[in-house]
């Protein structure tokens, strides 16, 4: 197993997700079940998050990207948890948010170690999961 594959496996453990390595890119397969309420109707959905890293450099940094789907009421918790992490966001971190009435998509990218990126995301997913258990 080479360095890239070991790193992919480690990121998979951090995110509690399956990983697939292909053509120099690690695709992380993270899903989440949610319930969307709209116009007095409930919809159960399984969301696939798009998380990946590629272009691993000698210094251990890579291009990390994620498309995370949330309920609108989870956006503040996501943002707060992301910024409260012990590992600060890197200088080249970028984030874009697309919002519609029932779902929010956060697009993130950074050049940093995949472990740091995954550690932050893991904390966010854990906070959201804990918050949904409290309700």
- At 76-119, the pLDDT tens digits run 999 999 989 898 899 999 999 999 888 899 999 999 999 999 99
How confident is residue 41, by pLDDT bands cut at 50, 70 and 90?
confident
94-99 and 104-112 as β-strands: parallel, antiparallel, unpaired? antiparallel
Pick from 66, 75, 76: nearest CA to 117: 66
Task: Give dist(CA 124, CA 11) in Å, integer.
Answer: 15
Q: Return the domain boundaries, the chain.
A: 32-110
Query: At CA 107, angle to CA 91 and CA 88, rounded to 5?
Result: 30
The position carrying tokens 């890119």 is 25
Return the structure tokens found at 81: 């948890």
Reported pTM = 0.90
From 13-17, 66-70, 87-91, 100-104, the region with the lowest mean pLDDT: 100-104
**Which two tokens mark 96?**
């874009």
d(CA 15, CA 126): 10
């Amino acid at each position: 197993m080479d360095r890239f594959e070991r790193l992919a496996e480690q990121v998979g453990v951090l995110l509690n997700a399956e990983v697939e390595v292909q053509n120099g890119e690690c695709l992380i397969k993270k899903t989440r079940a949610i319930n969307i309420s709209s116009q007095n109707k409930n919809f159960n959905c399984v969301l696939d998050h798009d998380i990946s890293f590629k272009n691993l450099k000698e210094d251990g940094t890579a291009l990390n990207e994620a498309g995370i789907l949330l309920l609108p009421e989870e956006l503040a918790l996501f943002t707060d948890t992301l910024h409260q992490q012990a590992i600060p966001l890197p200088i080249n971190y970028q984030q874009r948010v697309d919002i519609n009435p029932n779902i929010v998509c956060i697009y993130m990218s950074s050049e940093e170690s995949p472990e740091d990126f995954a550690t932050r995301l893991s904390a966010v997913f854990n906070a959201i999961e804990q918050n949904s258990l409290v309700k």
